[in-house]
Amino acid sequence: MRHPITTDTRLAGTAARLYRRLFRPDDPHGWADYHCVEQPDGNFWIHTHGLGRWRLPDLEFTGVPHDMCSHAHQLMFAIIESCRDAGAAHADGDVEGVFSAPGQNFLQLATLRPAPRGDSEHWNTLRIVDWDQPAESGFAARLFASHIAAWAELAGDPIQKEVMCRRALVIFPGHFLEMTAGADIDPRDADLTDLQYRANLSIYLSLVEALFAQGRVTEAIGYLEEAIARCPGWAQAFRGWLVANYRRNDAFINFWHAADISEICARCRPAGMAGSPPEQKATGFGRKKRKPQRARRSA
């Protein structure tokens, strides 16, 4: 797919790239070109040219909504630096790491697929899609939702946090997982990678926090029940730990003391849902052997 190269499609201008080349010569932002091209459906195709300098293929996101373009650039830069540090990026390889914010309690997962483009300018481009998904799946909704989740954790303004969380839920509302999902998590040092990828759990918890901070208790409890219904195993483990360790008298703690997880699941989960359908496949994080292409684990 050929496209014009203008100041509207090019992410960084000549001056910015020259500055990085002179003062940060190892920075791929200065040597590669980053293009943001509007597609016929109004979404954007964001891709690179020139990563061959680091023996990497060029990368792309497709189907990116307009308000997600800046997030796409941040994710693209983080994934490029991760692949460069790992020394490789190959077709059908997986990448995982902390791509968004330091301190986030989950890793982010993606897969690199050959982009179905036949023109000579983009023949060697790999498309970044959600983990284990085909190239045709397009927009990496779970990856972008996890990016917003990481930044929402850092938002000090509860109204801003709420806006971010609601946008992430539009992108990916999360699946209802099997009843045991998250039951083996240690709440004291929880790794939410699997639950975030499949259920968008971190976003629900951040939205609950934002609503409680605004005094909107009924709404907060509603979203907390949505989180419980999606990850019942996690809820059982978290409730047991919370009740054993906290005695303060507030709406959040009181809810957990009184919560009947079985009743919440019966009321909020889809009727007749006994297990996890194929599209909700567990990531197997920590158990499945992935290809040895790994992203940097610290930001």
The count of domains in the chain is 2
Confidence at residue 212, expressed as pLDDT on a 0 to 100 scale? 96
Residue 174 sits in the same domain as residue 132: no
Domain check: are 71 and 97 in the same one? Answer: yes
Low-confidence ranges of the chain (pLDDT < 70): 1-21, 27-31, 87, 118-121, 273-299
Tokens of 19: 């500055």
Distance CA 213, CA 93 (A): 41
Q: Residues with Cβ < 8 Å from 278, sequence gap 6 or more?
A: none
Residue 295 belongs to some domain of the structure: no
Same domain, 84 and 180: no
pLDDT of residue 281: 52
Per-residue H/E/C for 9-29: CECCCHHHHHHHHHHCCCCHH
Q: What is the pLDDT of residue 246?
A: 83
The answer to whether residue 95 sits within a structural domain is yes
Is residue 9 a part of any domain in this protein? no
Q: How many CB atoms lie within 10 A of CB 117?
A: 18
Domain that holds residue 47: 14-140
Question: What does the pLDDT read at residue 221?
Answer: 97
How many C-beta neighbours within 10 Å does residue 196 have? 28
Residue 147 lies in a domain: no
Cβ atoms of 39 and 46 within 8 Å: the answer is: no
The letter for the amino acid at 255 is F
| One domain, residues 247 and 171 | yes
pLDDT reported for residue 176: 96
